Amino acid sequence: MHELQEVEQLLAERQTELLERVRVEREEIERIERGRDALDVVDPFGQPLAVYRASRDELKAALSRLVAQLTR
């Protein structure tokens, strides 16, 4: 009977640890999703060259912001 109590205690501890890890991961996902809208770039398909260049510049800026977010 004592072994069963030990196993149940270990299981409860592991469950608590897992729930904390999940909470942290969810917070990180939410943080990234909040910044996602700032990373949208218009598709220049079929547009003049100037629009492609502007999209390139937007992509560079968006990637820089994303890298900054992920490395905080």
Name which residue leads in pLDDT, 24 or 31.
24
Q: Is the pLDDT of residue 68 over 90?
A: no
Averaged pLDDT, 40-44: 82
Query: Which H or E run contains 58?
Result: helix 49-70
Predicted pLDDT at 38: 64
What's at 45, amino acid-wise? F
Confidence class of residue 54 from pLDDT cuts 50, 70 and 90? very high
| Structure tokens, 26 | 């969810």
For residue 56, which of 69, 44, 68, 39 has the smallest C-alpha distance?
44
Q: Is residue 37 pLDDT above 70, yes or no?
A: no
Phi, psi dihedrals of residue 41, rounded to the nearest 5°: -130, 135
